[in-house]
């Protein structure tokens, strides 16, 4: 299978780092605007359907409103929202007693923009869980190795090794 330029860039791009101080958002709407993309991307990658991703999205932001965490910079906010999203996905999977496979009818609900995106997601889902998670958090969630390590509960070195191995494995599957 041949990759288009868009998918190749996603596979080889290094996510950006953000250490800038965070000015405290004045309203929940500003918080949603700041972190919505990260939360939804991780939720969609983990849950596979738009409806489940939206449920997770809502649960994460409700959790934010209930707990009212304070972040000193954007990185802390992204890590908190990424952890909360992963946790909400796990809880939804447990309550719905999901399986690893999806029925064919569910493919219609995937929020993918092209056949290339669909092929990439299929190959991504075929990877082992530890490789898939690190790719989802790094590329869909936009987290650095250190931030991904905090979410997964491992060292940044372990994340970098997993990321390298995951890229190689995904690259082999896509050829």
Structural domain boundaries in the chain:
12-174
Asked whether the beta carbons of 50 and 44 are under 8 A apart, the reply is yes
Residue 73, helix vs strand vs coil: strand
Q: How confident is the model over 153-165, as pLDDT tens digits?
A: 899 999 999 999 9
- 12-174, which class in CATH? mainly alpha
- The pLDDT, as a whole number, for residue 39 is 94
Q: Is the pLDDT of residue 132 over 60?
A: yes
| DSSP structural state of residue 4 | P
Mean pLDDT taken over the chain? 78
- The pLDDT, as a whole number, for residue 20 is 53
Asked whether the beta carbons of 81 and 39 are under 8 A apart, the reply is yes
Q: How confident is the model over 52-68, as pLDDT tens digits?
A: 999 999 999 999 999 98
- HSE of 95 in the Cβ direction (CA atoms, 13 Å)? 10
Q: Is the pLDDT of residue 117 over 80?
A: no
């Amino acid at each position: 299978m041949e990759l288009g330029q868009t998918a190749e860039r996603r596979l080889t791009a290094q996510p950006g780092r953000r250490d800038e101080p965070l000015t405290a958002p004045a309203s929940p709407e500003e918080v949603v605007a700041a972190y919505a993309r990260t939360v939804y991307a991780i939720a969609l990658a983990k849950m596979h359907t738009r409806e489940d991703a939206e449920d997770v999205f809502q649960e994460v932001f409700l959790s934010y409103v209930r707990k009212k965490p304070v972040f000193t910079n954007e990185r802390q906010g992204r890590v908190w929202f990424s952890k909360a999203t992963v946790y909400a996905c796990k809880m939804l999977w447990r309550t719905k007693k999901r399986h690893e496979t999806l029925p064919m009818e569910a493919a219609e609900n995937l929020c993918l923009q092209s056949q290339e995106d669909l092929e990439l997601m299929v190959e991504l889902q075929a990877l082992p869980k530890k490789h898939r998670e690190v790719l989802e958090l790094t590329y869909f969630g936009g987290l650095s190795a250190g931030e991904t390590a905090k979410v997964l509960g491992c060292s940044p070195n372990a994340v970098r090794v997993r990321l390298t191995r995951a890229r190689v494995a995904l690259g082999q599957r896509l050829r």
